[in-house]
Amino acid sequence: MTDGELNQFRESLLNWFRTYQRTLPWRSNRDPYRIWISEIMLQQTRVATVIPYYEKFLARFPNVKSLAEAPQDEVLRLWSGLGYYSRARNMQKAAQQIVAKHGGEFRHTREEVLALSGIGEYTAAAILSIAFDEQLAVLDGNVARVLARLGAIRGDLREPKRWRQLQLSADLLLAPESPGDWNQAMMELGATVCSPRSPQCLLCPVAQFCQGRRLGIAESLPEKRKKRATVAVQLMSVVLLDSNSNALLLPPPTATTKNKADDHVPSLVSKMWHFPTIAAPKASANALREFLQSELRMKKTASLKPELLTEVRHTVTYRAISVAAYLVRVKQLPKIAEAKSVSLLDTLALSISNLTRKIARNALHHLSARR
Ligand code: SF4
């Protein structure tokens, strides 16, 4: 592109963005805290899903200090349903770092922002450019797809060498006078016009500069990544219920509380309070009894009658996970350090994952149907 074309390209995209941008709650002002929360929530999550979570979260934690001081359980409860809970934990940790090191104020330098928990290159560039107009170009999957189509770039975009080249292209295109608007314009173009499956080139403000369109290959870009083969994983979860309708929950795994009972699977299932879970080649009542005996130290398991509640399927990266959930009624819950006994109904009010919630709901439904 000549300098003249580059200027025209920038002008076309910025004008389009300033005219047609969607009204989104985090665009109402340039508060770095609000931008930061939105960027973290939007990672791997659609805009429409994020909006109600964002509004509730901001209503409860309107600034860095309120987030830093909140009980972690409350932060996770407001996050519950968005998934990838490490994002919420890291965000709170970063809020505490900002309060402790910078008196609750966001710093303007890339290095200081990158030093915060859970903030990588993309998020740092997004916050600093949008809030403070720092000249940092964002590059995420959305922007990479637009760049690949504009430049007709083939191959796996996530290969480190190609990703670095894309970052250089993003840096070169960045409008130096308006980096915040520019980054948002690139992201908006990827989200609304240059969409993954069917780019709407007829509506595109920069179609005249697009090599992919000119060559007729825009829709086939970016080329598919080589997929890792899917691995099937079978798990069993058990709702142990005593005669007072209390269930046993195991804690989120940490270096000190990691429980032998399910130390090989919780990261696949949940990093929050969860029902005891094991991996088994095949779900069966016998395998479950063995687990209760060997790992939870329960006695006379032969007389227990596991009732199958539901089979839940979900996918974590390349693993296709199937979780068979059982209900086992016992007189007394086993004594396990760090575990807690909670009324089954009350588990729904805890910060638990969607999977654990689904199992608890199934157990409640199963019990009420038996009455
Ligand atoms: Fe994307 Fe089409 Fe615009 Fe190229 S012309 S950037 S493929 S929408």
Q: What is the pLDDT of residue 257?
A: 43
Average pLDDT over residues 252-266: 53
Tokens representing 358 are 């689904």
Residue intervals of the chain classified under CATH 1.10.340.30 are 3-220
At residue 277, the 3 state secondary structure works out as strand
- Mean residue pLDDT of the chain comes to 91
Among 169, 198, 201, 214, the mutation site with the greatest number of ligand 1 atoms within 8 A of its Cβ is 201
pLDDT given at position 262: 47
The Cα–Cα gap between 223 and 218 comes to: 10
Judge contact between 129 and 180, C-beta under 8 A.
Answer: yes
Parallel, antiparallel, or unpaired for β 231-241 and 307-316? unpaired
Q: Does the beta carbon of 193 sit less than 6 angstroms from any atom of ligand 1?
A: yes
Q: Tell me the torsion sign for CA atoms 211, 212, 215, 216.
A: negative
CB atoms within 10 A of CB 298: 18
Own/partner contacts of 72-79, CB < 8 Å, gap of 24 or more, are 73/350, 73/351, 74/351, 76/272, 76/351, 77/350, 77/351, 78/53, 79/53, 79/351
For residue 265, report the distance from its CA to the centre of ligand 1, in Å.
43
CB 325 within 8 A of CB 333: no
Q: Which residue has the higher pLDDT, 127 or 256?
A: 127
Share of the chain above pLDDT 70, in %: 95
Reply yes or no on whether the pLDDT at 190 is more than 90.
Answer: yes
CB 324 less than 6 A from any atom of ligand 1: no
The topology (CATH level 3) of 231-370 is Nucleoside Triphosphate Pyrophosphohydrolase (3.90.79)
Expressed in angstroms and rounded, the spacing between residue 85 Cα and the centre of ligand 1 is 34
Lowest mean pLDDT among 5-14, 34-43, 208-217, 221-230: 221-230
Contact 194, 146 (CB under 8 A): yes
Residue type, 36: W
Please state the rounded mean pLDDT for residues 77-97.
92
Nearest atom in ligand 1 to the alpha carbon of residue 200 is 8
Structure tokens at 98: 């900002």
Structure-block tokens of residue 267: 């990261």
Mean pLDDT computed over 163-167: 96
Q: Identify the pLDDT of residue 261.
A: 46
Q: Is 207 in the pocket of ligand 1 (CB under 6 A)?
A: yes
Q: Is the pLDDT of residue 147 over 80?
A: yes
Q: Model confidence over 277-335: pLDDT tens digits?
A: 988 888 899 999 999 998 888 988 888 999 999 998 888 778 888 999 999 999 999 99
User: pLDDT tier at 269 (50, 70, 90 boundaries)?
Assistant: low
* Residue 328 neighbours by CB under 8 Å, 6+ apart: 238, 239, 240, 241, 288, 292, 304, 305, 306, 307
What pLDDT is attached to residue 85?
Answer: 87
Segment holding 239, helix H or strand E:
strand 231-241
CB 69 within 8 A of CB 95: no
274: three-class secondary structure by DSSP = strand
All residues at 6 or more sequence positions from 43 whose CB lies less than 8 Å from its CB, including other chains: 84, 87, 123
CATH 1.10.287.1120 fits 3-220, yes or no: no
Residue type, 262: D
What distance in Å separates the CA atoms of residue 267 and residue 264, rounded to the nearest whole number?
Answer: 8
In the chain, which segments carry CATH 3.90.79.10?
231-370
Selection from 158, 128, 126 nearest residue 145 by Cα: 158
Burial of 362 (0-12, 13-18, 19+ CB in 10 A): middle
263 pLDDT higher than 50:
no
**Any ligand 1 atom below 6 A from CB of 194:** yes
pLDDT of 194 strictly over 50:
yes
Distance of CA 200 from the midpoint of ligand 1 (Å)? 7
Rounded distance from Cα 149 to ligand 1 centre (Å): 6
Structure token pair of residue 2:
């000549």
Task: Please tell me if the CB atom of residue 204 comes closer than 6 angstroms to any atom of ligand 1.
Answer: yes
Q: Which of 344, 14, 302, 20 is nearest to 179 (CA)?
A: 14
Q: Distance, CA 145 to ligand 1 centroid (Å)? A: 10
Kindly tell me the sign of the dihedral angle through the C-alpha atoms of 134, 135, 138, 139: negative
CB of 147 closer than 6 angstroms to any ligand 1 atom: no
CB atoms inside a 10 Å sphere around CB 323 = 24
